[in-house]
Chains A and B, each alone.
Chain A
Amino acid sequence: MALWSRVRSWLRATVGRSRMENEMDAELRFHVEAYAEDLIRRGVPRQEALRRARLEFGGIENAKEGCREARGVHFAETLLQDLRYGARTMLRSPGFTITAVLALALGIGANTAIFSVVNAVLLRPMPFDQPDRLLQVWHTPPQKSFPGMPTFAVSPANFLDWRNQNHSFDGMSAYGFGRYTLTGTGHPEAIRMVAATVGLFSILHAQPLLGRGFLDGEDEPGHEHVVVLSYGIWRSHFAGNPDVVGKNIQLNGQAFAVVGVMGPEFDFPIFSDQEARAQMWKPLAWTDQERAIRGDHNYAVIARLKAGVTLRQAQAELDAISNRLAQEYPNDNKGWGAIAIPLRDDLVGDVRPALLILLGAVALVLLIACANVANLMLARALSRRKEVAVRTALGATRRRLLQQALSETLLLAFAGGALGLVFAHFGLLVIVKFLAQRLPRSSEIALDGWVLAFTLGISLLTGFAAGLLPALRMAKADLNQALKQGLGRTAADSGGSRTRNVLVVSEVALSLMLLIGAGLLIRSLWVLHNVNPGFDPSRVVTMAVSLPTGKFVEPAQQISYFGRVLDRVRTLPGVQSAGLIDSLPLSDDGSHQPISIEGRPAAAMADLPEVEVRLISPGYLSSMHIPLLSGRDIDDSDAAGRPGAVLISESMAKFFWPNEDPIGKRLTLYFFPGLTREVVGVVADVKISAMNETQPAPTLYYPLAQMSAARGENWNSFGMNLTVRTNAAPLSAVPAITNSVREIDAEVPLLNIRTMDDSVSASLSPARFTMLLLGAFAGLALLLAVVGIYSVMSYSVSRRTNEIGIRVALGASRGNVLLLVVRQALLLALLGSVIGIVGALALSRLMASQLYGVQPTDPITFVTVAALLMIVSLAASYLPARRAMRVEPMAALRYE
C-alpha cells in the first residue's frame, strides 16, 4: 500500500514531470497570493503585501527543489545522468571498456551456460506429476559377492512380495527394456520396447494422448498383446493417424492391438542417451514359473510414495520386508536388501559431482573476472582523483559519488551480461552436442526464463562486487591532498596499490586452484588413454544382431543361425577374422551369475561367488586380439553335446585358484545347471564396463554352441554382437557385412554399428569433456590473472617512473631496474601460488570421484602448475619491466 503510493508518486514525479512542475507552480503561487491577500485585508498596501509575502515565503526555487527531492525525482534523474556519463566515459576509453566487458562476459557467459545445464538436469522438476513422490526401488546385493556395487536389478518373486506386503506405496511397477522387431511398415525395424506391469501409467499419473493405458489383467499371459505407442513413433511410423488406436500391428511376428498413444512430453524410463528413448510400452506378463523366480535379477522398479509417508518410513518398511524374505528364502535372498531412491537422484547421481565441480569452477572464474575489473576500476579511480576532487569541491556528496561510480560498473556488468548470454548460447550448442548421449534430460537444456533471471542476478551481483571497492576508494578521496597533488604520481596512494596487490594475489590463487583441478583431470585422462583395455580396438567394427523372438525358438536354431552368419562374414573380402559375444567390452550391460566349483563345498546361492559371464563364438578372441595366456582357445569342436569348455580371465584364475593351475578345473553355472564345464584356457583381463574400471572383473566365457537353454524371454529378444577385424578401414566393410546378414534372413535387424575405437573413445568422453570444460575455464582464469598482473605492474612502473629515474641517475644498471620490477611481480605470484596451493589441497579432495590413477594431491600436478603460473607471471611483468628499463633519468625527473 505505502509502497504503491510511493511508486505512484514517483512515477507521477518522473514520467509526468511537466505536469508536476505546473501543479507545484500553481500551488506555491496560490500560497503566496493567499498570504498577500490576507495582508491586504489587514491594511498593508498591495505592492508591499506582495513583496512581504514573497519575502516571508523564502526561496521559492529552494522549496521546489525540496519538493522534487521528496518525490525521488532526483534519484531517477541522477541515475540517468550517471548512466549517460558512465557510457560516455566508457566510450572515451575503449581499451579499458573492451577488456572489462570481455572479462565479465566470459565469466558471466560461463556461469550462464553451466547454470543452464544444472538447471535442466539437477534443478528442474522431473516431467511427471508430483515427481518428488516417485521412487526407484532396487535390490542391494550382498557385498561379499558384489563388492562396491550399490544397487542391483530386482527379481520377479521379490518384486511381487514387496508389492503385496508394503503399506508405503500407492503402487509399484516392475519394468524391463527390450527390442521387438516391427514388421509391416517397410524394413523390419528393431523397436525399443518397455514391458511393464500394469500399474506403470497410473503410478506416473500419465494420461495417454489417445486411447488408454494398460488394464488390470493385461499382465496375465495370453492377454498381454496390447501396446501403447510413443508420440515419436506414432508420428514417424503411423503418420500421426488417430485411427491406429484399435488396429493391430506386427511385433516379433505376433499381432499386438494398439490401445493408446502417449503425448510428446511423456518419456519413461528417462535415459541419459536420447537415442535410447522408449518407443512402445507393453504389459509385462510373467508366467507362473517366472513369477516364482527369486534369484535372477532383471527388472527395474518404480513406485509412488503414499501421501503422508516419508522416504525414511518407506525405507524402514522395505528393510523389514527384505529381512523377512531373507529368512524365508535364505537360498536366494540371504544378504539381499532393498533401497528406495528418489527418481531424480537415481537418474542424475552419476553426473551430479561433475556438474557441481564445473559450477564451482565457473564461480571461481567469475570471481577472478570481478577482481580483474575491480583492479582496472581502481587504477582508473586513482587517475580520476582530480576529477573527483573537483566534483567534491563543487558540492557532490559522498553518496552521489558512490552512486556514480557504482552505476559505471553496473553498466559494465550488464553489457558483460548481455554479451555473456551470447557466449552462453554458443557454448551450450557445443555442450549439448557433446553431452547429448551422456547427460539425462539434455534436450531440456535451454536459455529459459530461469536462466535469464540467473544471468540478470549475477550481472547485478558482479557489478556490485567489482564496483564497490573502487567506488568506496573514489568517494573517500581526500579533497585537499588530491587537488594539491595534481594527478598524484607520487607514492601517496599506497593504500590503493595495497588493495590492488591483494586483488592480484587472489586472482593468482583462484586461477591456480582451477589450473590444478584441470591439471589433475588432464593427468587422469592421460592415464586412461594409456590404459590397456585388454583388447586391440583398432580396425574392429561391431554390430548387434538381434533375433526376433518368434522366429528362432530353440537354442539349436539360434546357434545354427549365428553359425551361418559367421561363415558368411568370414569369407567377405577385407575381413581378417570375425566372432560373436553377447555383450561387448565397455558396454556395461553384461550379466553375472554365481558359479559352483567342483570339489568345493556346496553353498546357498547368496554365498556363491559371482562372476561376469559372457557367451562367445570361436574367433571372438582373435577378432578382438585378446591374448590367450595359457591353455587353448575354444573352437568348433566345443559343440553341443561335447564336454563343456570355458575360458576364464586372468583375474578369475587368480581369485579362485591363486596357487594352482586352473586349466582342467571344473565348474557349474548357477542358472545353467546340468552341464559341468572345464576350464580350457586363461585369457587377459578386459575392461568390461568402462575404461576407468579400477579392478578387473573376474569373467568367464563359454561357447555359444554349448548354450543349454534358449536365451531371451517372452518379452525380450535375444541378440549377439558381431565383432569383425578388417584389413583396412573397418567401416568400409560394413555394407558387405550387412548385406550378407540380410541375405541369410531379411527379418533380422542390425543395430549399433560402430567401431571399437569409437566405443573406447565414447567410454572416455565424459571424462574428456569434463576435462575440456574445466581446462577451458582454467585457461580463462589464467588469462584473466595475467591481465591482472600485467595491469598492476604497468601501473606500478608508471607510478614509480620518478623513483626509477632517480635510481638510474644514481647508477642503477638496467639489470637492477629489471630485477626491481620482476621481483615485485614474482612476489605477488609466489604469494598467490602459496595461497592457491593451500586452497587446492583443501578442495581437490572433492574431485576424487572424477580422477583415475591420480591422487587429488598429486605433487607432479601441483608443482607443474605452480611453475607454469610463475613463468606466465614473469612473462606478464616483462613488458612493464622493459618499459621501466628504458626510463631516461632526465625525462623521468622532469615528468612531474
Chain B
Amino acid sequence: MAKPIDLLQGTLDMLILKAVSLGPLHGYGVLLRIQQISRDRLEIQQGSLYPALYRLEHQGWIASEWGESENKRKAKYYRLTAAGKRRFQTETDKWNRMADVIAGILSTTPEEV
C-alpha cells in the first residue's frame, strides 16, 4: 500500500460535501466515507474535520440534527442542503476545469512549447 497523501488545501470542504451528498452522516461517518471512497489513499486529520463541518453548517451548505447511530447511540447527523447541492456542483466543475488545465500543463513535452 502506497503512503497516503496529504490533503490539498481547501479540498476538505469539497470532500465533506461529496460524502454527505450520498446520504446523512455523523462526523465519524464522514471520515469513514471519505476513507472508503478514496480507498485509504488520503490522510485526513481527524480533528480538522469538525471545524470544517461547523464552517459548512455556518454557511448553510449542510444542516445537522441529532439522531441515533447504528449502535444505538446519540449522534449528530449532517445532510446536504439545497444551497449546499448548488455549491457542490460549482465546486466540482471548478475543480475539474482546474485539474484539466494543470494536467495539461504538466504533460507538456519540450516539443510542444
Contact = CB atoms under 8 A, between A and B. Distances in A.
- Interface size on A, as a range, is 20 to 34
B45 A71 contact: no
Interface stretch (A23-31, A83-91, A883-891): A23-31
A751 interface: no
B28 A34 contact: yes
B38 to A, nearest CB: 17
Interface stretch (B2-10, B15-23, B69-77, B97-105): B69-77
Given A30-B73, A66-B48, A5 B60 contact: yes
B55 interface: yes
Given A27-B50, A30-B69, A70-B51, A6 B58 contact: yes
B76 A23 contact: yes
Contacts of A9: 57-58
A785 to B, nearest CB: 48
A120 to B, nearest CB: 43
Contact of A2 (B47, B54, B59, B74): B59
A71 B57 CA distance: 9
Given A6-B58, A30-B75, A66 B51 contact: yes
A62 B47 contact: yes
Given A2-B83, A26-B74, A63 B28 contact: no
Contact of B27 (A4, A31, A37, A58): A31
A58 B54 contact: no
Contact of A10 (B28, B31, B55, B58): B58
Interface in A46-82: 56-60, 62-64, 66-67, 69-72
Interface in B62-89: 69, 71, 73-76, 83
Contacts of B71: 34, 37
A123 to B, nearest CB: 39
Given A1-B83, A9-B58, A34 B69 contact: yes
A64 B50 CA distance: 8
A31 B58 contact: no
B110 to A, nearest CB: 44
B78 to A, nearest CB: 10
Contacts of B69: 30, 34
Given A2-B83, A35-B28, A63 B58 contact: no
A866 B48 CA distance: 66
B19 to A, nearest CB: 15
A63 B50 contact: yes
A14 to B, nearest CB: 12
Contacts of A26: 74, 76
- Interface size on B, as a range, is 20 to 34
B11 interface: no
A567 B48 CA distance: 106
A474 B51 CA distance: 31
A67 B50 contact: yes
A820 B45 CA distance: 65
Contacts of B27: 27, 30-31
Determine the main DSSP class of A at the interface with B.
helix
Determine the main DSSP class of B at the interface with A.
helix
B50 A56 contact: no
Q: Which of A27, A57, A60, A62 has the most CB atoms of chain B within a 10 A radius of its CB?
A: A27
A34 B32 CA distance: 11
B47 A60 contact: yes
A27 B83 CA distance: 24
Contacts of A66: 47-48, 50-51, 54
Contacts of B83: 1-2
B88 to A, nearest CB: 14
Contacts of B74: 26, 30
Nearest to A26: B74
Interface string B32-55: 000000000000011110111011
A24 B51 CA distance: 11
B60 A1 contact: yes
Contacts of A62: 47
B59 A63 contact: no
A72 B75 contact: no
Contacts of A1: 60, 83
A25 to B, nearest CB: 11
A74 B2 CA distance: 40
Given A1-B83, A6-B59, A30 B26 contact: yes
A856 to B, nearest CB: 58
Contacts of A63: 47-48, 50-51
A10 B58 CA distance: 7
A69 B54 CA distance: 9
B60 A30 contact: no
A67 B48 contact: no
B29 to A, nearest CB: 9
Contacts of B52: 70
Contacts of A56: 46
B45 A31 contact: no
Q: Which of A1, A4, A34, A69 has the most CB atoms of chain B within a 10 A radius of its CB?
A: A34
Contacts of A35: 28, 46
Contacts of A72: 58
Contacts of B46: 31, 35, 56-58
Q: Which of B48, B57, B83 has the most CB atoms of chain A within a 10 A radius of its CB?
A: B57
Q: Which of A28, A33, A59, A72 has the most CB atoms of chain B within a 10 A radius of its CB?
A: A28
B47 A59 contact: yes
Nearest to A65: B51
Contacts of B60: 1-2, 4-6
Given A31-B31, A69-B51, A71-B54, 12 more contacts: A2-B59, A27-B26, A30-B26, A30-B27, A31-B27, A35-B46, A63-B50, A66-B51, A66-B54, A67-B50, A70-B51, A72-B58
6 contacts: A27-B76, A31-B27, A35-B28, A57-B47, A66-B47, A70-B54
**What are the 3 A-B residue pairs with the smallest beta carbon separation, nearest first?**
A66-B51, A5-B60, A58-B47
Interface of A: 1-2, 4-6, 9-10, 23-24, 26-28, 30-31, 33-35, 37, 56-60, 62-64, 66-67, 69-72
